Amino acid sequence: MRNFFAVVERELKSYFISPLACVILGFFLLATGLFFYVVVNSFERMSMMSAMQAQQYGQMPPAMNVNMMAVRPLLHNIGIIAMFLLPGLTMRLLAEEKRQGTMELLQTSPLTNWQITLGKFTGAWLFYLAMLAATGVLISLLFIFGNPELKPLLAGYLGLFLVGGCFIALGLLFSAFTENQIIAFVSALAVNLILLSMGWLSSFTGPALSSILTHLSPIDHFDDFTKGILDSKHAVFYVSFIFALLFLTYLILESARWRGFQGRRVKLGVPMTLAEVAKSLGEKNEAVLVKAQAFGLSSFDQTISHPQELVELAHQFGYDAEVKGR
């Protein structure tokens, strides 16, 4: 768990000091604020028109539901904004590591590919949670000047958190495919738009296909959350969707690692000193010494005589080792 939390901490720190993350947060809050103004202004005008009509006919003005007429549209708009902006948040997660050459260092460190995948996803998800928390300033205005229901609002934010996790997992998957951040961003955004359009396309298809498209769309599952309905089938869908994408990301990292092993084969003899291992692998003596310390080898005069230790040490540097007797 220590390695996992180390990756999460590293990602969170990189977000809070990154200009790109600050720009994304700024655009997110700006767009949310604009939609908040439009929704509240529209609700106010409808309330005034309803009151004027009731006064004209000598009736009591009907009660206006803040949650249905203001909160629900606002939550839907926040979800759409997140769909467009989160690919920009995730495009660098693995693509940048590959471009800078630090991905190999991560994979040859004590970290497993599962820890790398889950750590990067969790770091991005927590930053998204901070983005949602920042919108609480706007929501608090509704409680100051209105009387919305708290529980449906909390259910809606839970839905936003889960649907955002789906977009983050999808962005992480495309970031694992390439080292070009622009390709990762455009690919994730294109798939997000396809997922968004599934609900619209379902109205032009037959009942069977329409049911499938509706079931596969994360946005359609989000609708019940905005109504304050907590249905376990929606939560199961989101968790399954996220886990499936994270598992695919893990497989990509594993395949890349083993492809690297197959492309960098090396034959090492037993016994060998650490200096001989460094020379054979083309690595710096200091780097080999650091990796070898995990096997209890602390000097370049130390001789490696166990084949398994030699193989594991070579794997730490991304080589597919073949041990030969000497």
At 319, list the tokens. Answer: 């080589």
Distance (Å, whole) CA 323 – CA 138: 64
pLDDT for the residue 64: 62
Indicate the SS3 state at residue 22. Answer: helix
- 204 & 64 share domain: yes
Predicted TM-score of the model (pTM) = 0.76
- 175 & 314 share domain: no
Around Cβ 299, how many Cβ atoms within 10 Å? 12
Indicate the SS3 state at residue 265. Answer: strand
- 220 & 305 share domain: no
pLDDT for the residue 306: 76
Count the domains in the chain. 2
Given 203, 228, 260, the domain boundary residue is 260
CA contacts within 13 A on the Cβ side of 214: 12
Indicate the SS3 state at residue 110. Answer: coil
- Alpha-helical (H) ranges within the chain are 2-16, 19-56, 66, 72-90, 95-100, 103-107, 113-134, 136-145, 150-177, 181-201, 207-216, 218-226, 232-263, 274-281, 285-292, 307-316
- 41 & 116 share domain: yes
Domain of 317 in residue numbering reads as 265-325
Q: In a structure prediction context, what are the per-residue pLDDT tens digits for the chain, which is 326 residues long?
A: 777 888 888 888 888 888 888 888 999 999 999 998 888 888 777 767 766 666 666 665 555 667 777 888 889 899 999 999 999 988 888 888 777 767 766 766 677 888 889 999 999 999 999 999 999 888 888 888 777 788 888 999 999 999 999 999 999 999 988 888 899 999 999 998 888 887 677 666 767 777 777 777 788 888 888 888 888 888 899 999 999 999 999 998 888 766 655 556 677 777 888 887 787 777 777 777 877 777 777 778 778 877 777 777 777 776 767 777 65
- 273 & 298 share domain: yes
Given 260, 285, 304, the domain boundary residue is 260
- 241 & 269 share domain: no
Distance (Å, whole) CA 314 – CA 278: 10
Give Cα separations from 8 to 29, 111, 159 (angstroms).
24, 12, 23
- 140 & 177 share domain: yes
pLDDT for the residue 70: 80
- 234 & 271 share domain: no
- 292 & 185 share domain: no
Nearest to 139 by CA among 149, 129, 128: 149
CB-CB contact of 277 with 268 (8 Å): yes
